[in-house]
Structure 1
Amino acid sequence: MKASAFVYPWDVVGDPDAAARIADLGVRQVTLASAYHSTRALTPRHPRHRIVTAEHASVLYPVDEDHWAGRALRPYAAGAWAPTADPYGEAAHALAEAGLDVHTWVVLAHNSRLGAEHPDSNVVNAYGDHYPWAPCIAQPAVRAYLTTLAAEAAVRPGARGTELESCGWYGLAHLHAHDKIAGVGLGDAAQYLMSLCFCPACRSGYAELGLDADELSEAVRRALDPVWSAGSAHVGWPAVEKLIGADLAATSLEWRTRVARTLQESAVAAVRAAAPPGFQVLLHADPTAYHCGANVGVDPEHIMRVADGVVVPCAAGPHLLAPFAEQRTGGGVVAANLTVVSGMGGRPATLAADAERAAGLGATELRLYHAGLASGADLSLVRAALRP
């Protein structure tokens, strides 16, 4: 299967050997970050540095000011951690010169600085707490920002496609700087309730569906009261229904699904309108509709019609692939995202076997996370699997 490795521009810029080293792994493509969230990243082979600290979400290319004139919500330029004024462009050129197809990697609804500076844009939970890392995708200004960013960051010179991450609802689970929220265990049912938004736009949306937002928030708080004492391991949609009632659960999900679907349709359409013919648009996705985060919950049938395919998290196994593979038609892509950084729980030693299992469940391509973060030993195992 065709394999692509995730890469940051700072893994390549300033390292004259990086592009050839990545190509030598046996991958045919790289997924190169063009818009990314704040992070602290190891660069174990770079000749000039070992740690890059990206202090806030930013684009990694010069923005087109014509796209953003007069807008309150707009992307941030990278800070001193960016090695050049156009790190994406320089890295993309070097990787293409090494014979690799370059696709952009665009993070959308995940931006702590945006939320801190524009608190009205935040997801607001049932307790009134703001999530500054999670812009509410129901708000018109946020949706306009995300669709414009999707097109600009995706369609960079020379790129043959894009992968849109966080193109949907973000919620509680964020891995925010120095996270301290694991003291009480939350199953995915409680995670859903803590991720429901009660900003003015979402309150109006609930009302359109005949749901009183105050009734919903009260039900959420009542359901979560015992969780703060003993934690919760409840998972699955039936657990959500048990916690707040089937009617409230169904209506809340109807609103969130409608908002996410229309955002995804708009973002993909904006990218395609800006892109040349044949430009591939994939979404990082989870087949469980109520999940939120980097791999947004979607309806597989819907998303496989809207986009050219999906990138599916497989760190816990390949079981999430099948629902997308069942909806695949024609040249649709179902890419299995496999972690190959052993220090982050990856299994580079079993890459060949894991790829075979993924193919058996319908994967058509592989994504390898992450060529820049992996140790030399990890990359040797990747090379052995891809180039036996």
Structure 2
Amino acid sequence: MKASTFVYPWDVNGDPEAPARIAALGVRQVTLAAAYHSTRALTPRHPRHRIVTAEHAAVLYPMDDRWAGRQLRPYAAGDWAPGDAYGEAAAALADAGLEVHTWVVLAHNSRMGAEHPDTSVANAYGDRYPWAPCIAQPDTRAYLIDLAAEAAVRPGARGTELESLGWYGLQHLHAHDKTGGVGLGDAGQYLMSLCFCPHCRTGYGEQGLDADELAAAVRTALEPVWQGAPSDGGWAAIEKLLGETNATATRAWRDDTARTLQEAAVRAVRAAAPDGFQVLLHADPVSYHCGANAGVDPEHILSVADGVVVPCAGGPGLLTPFVEQGGVERGSVERGSAVIAANFTVVSGMGGSPATLSADLARARELGATEMRLYHAGLASDGDLEAVRAALTAS
């Protein structure tokens, strides 16, 4: 299987040994960040630094003039990725024989939420989530679609992986996060991620719901959860807490909002890209899930994009719904050629298990994965990278 590893530009720029070291792992491709959220990242081998603090979401290349005069626009990176940091790193990686694809984070931007609070998801209590742009809002959708096209199609890139192209909800590792005091299960996370901004309130109305009554129903449903009652059990638990009619209507609104955004973003990328450019989404096969791996309908998303990158840190089980739909007809993709990439964390300190990677890859292949992704060559220790190299050599 084709293997790719995730990389940041700051892992490569200023370290002349980085491209060859990454190529020596046995990967054929790198997925290189072109637009990324705020982060604090370790760089354990870089000759100039050990910690990089990306203070806000930013594009890691010079923006073009499509953003002139627009209120919502990307932010330029600071000294953690100056100039065309993406382009510099991409050229060095390509010179080492690696195929470069862009890594584009979309609906996850705390600075935009801080500077333009009305763009953020607002929960049933009136709290805003500044890290989570509401993807129902027309201006936000236009921003995300244009960002996808610009950041994905960088010079020399052979494809892209679009992350956070869907709803972002409560679950987010914010600075000094203190939200773990109550165990919000799947149902609680969903209820706390429902948006009540003006656009979503209108959307609920189009589904036959009164937004004020729905918000009150959400608060009532969550009251036992705040007192310690469990809220696991998937969609059935959501229907039990919120009522089947309310739950079904909210999901219909949110699913349609996400699907149409995904369709528009992929169209925009394809329009800007050369022939043969690969478009993948980071995706979860449960459409009501929120986060970096956007909840999708597997059949629908494989009718839109060339494939998906599927989180496998908890095991490869999430691959199956996509594999089962991998042969559907798609506009520009031949039958049966969908990319189903299994994404494994290989950083021990972040919960990964590089020591079991050979077995994990074998199991993913058995389940139908066509490619693999390894998170993350820049963050991993030397020991983790050695385990990755051994696993890829064995496979």
TM-score (norm 2): 0.97
The answer for the alignment partner of 2:163 in structure 1 is 165
> Within the alignment, does 1:342 sit opposite 2:341 as a pair?
no
- 1:1-388 alignment, distance < 5 Å: 1-64=1-64, 66-82=65-81, 84-329=82-327, 330-388=336-394
One-letter code of the match for 2:168?
Y
C-alpha contact (below 8 Å) 2:347/2:353 kept by paired residues: yes
C-alpha contact (below 8 Å) 1:184/1:231 kept by paired residues: no
Task: Give the SS at the match of 2:182.
Answer: coil
Percent identity between the two aligned chains: 76
Task: Give the SS at the match of 2:184.
Answer: coil
Alpha-carbon deviation of 1:233? 4.2
Query: CA 1:373–1:231 in structure 2 vs 1: closer, same or farther (change >3 Å)?
Result: farther
Alpha-carbon deviation of 1:227? 1.1
C-alpha contact (below 8 Å) 1:6/1:367 kept by paired residues: yes
Q: What whole-Å deviation, never above 9, does each CA across 1:137-180 have from its counterpart, x for those lacking one? A: 00000000000000000000000000000000000001111111
Task: Give the SS at the match of 2:356.
Answer: helix
One-letter code of the match for 1:251?
A
One-letter code of the match for 1:78?
A
One-letter code of the match for 1:243?
L
Q: What whole-Å deviation, never above 9, does each CA across 1:109-134 have from its counterpart, x for those lacking one? A: 00000000001101000000000000
Structure 1 stretches lacking a partner, 5+ long: none
Alpha-carbon deviation of 1:231? 4.9
Task: Give the SS at the match of 1:11.
Answer: helix
Task: Give the SS at the match of 2:341.
Answer: strand
Task: Give the SS at the match of 1:132.
Answer: strand
Q: What whole-Å deviation, never above 9, does each CA across 1:171-195 have from its counterpart, x for those lacking one? A: 0001111111001110011000000
Task: Give the SS at the match of 1:138.
Answer: coil
Q: In 2, Cα distance between the equivalents of 1:135 and 1:145?
A: 10
One-letter code of the match for 1:72?
Q
Q: What whole-Å deviation, never above 9, does each CA across 1:56-97 have from its counterpart, x for those lacking one? A: 000000000x21112100000001222x31110000000000
Q: What whole-Å deviation, never above 9, does each CA across 1:29-50 have from its counterpart, x for those lacking one? A: 0000000000000000000000
Structure 2 stretches lacking a partner, 5+ long: 328-335
Alpha-carbon deviation of 1:346? 0.5
C-alpha contact (below 8 Å) 1:34/1:153 kept by paired residues: yes
Q: What whole-Å deviation, never above 9, does each CA across 1:296-351 have from its counterpart, x for those lacking one? A: 11000000110000000000000000000011122210000000001111010111
Q: In 2, Cα distance between the equivalents of 1:232 and 1:114?
A: 34
Alpha-carbon deviation of 1:235? 2.9
Task: Give the SS at the match of 2:279.
Answer: strand
One-letter code of the match for 2:208?
G
C-alpha contact (below 8 Å) 2:231/2:237 kept by paired residues: no
**Cα RMSD over matched residues?**
0.7
Task: Give the SS at the match of 2:124.
Answer: coil
Task: Give the SS at the match of 1:94.
Answer: helix
Q: In 2, Cα distance between the equivalents of 1:124 and 1:32?
A: 32
- Which of structure 1's runs of 4+ aligned residues deviate more than 6 A? none
One-letter code of the match for 1:27?
V
Q: In 2, Cα distance between the equivalents of 1:124 and 1:339?
A: 31
Q: In 2, Cα distance between the equivalents of 1:14 and 1:213?
A: 53
One-letter code of the match for 2:99?
D
Task: Give the SS at the match of 2:141.
Answer: helix
One-letter code of the match for 2:76?
A
Task: Give the SS at the match of 2:344.
Answer: strand
One-letter code of the match for 1:73?
L
Q: In 1, Cα distance between the equivalents of 2:177 and 2:162?
A: 25
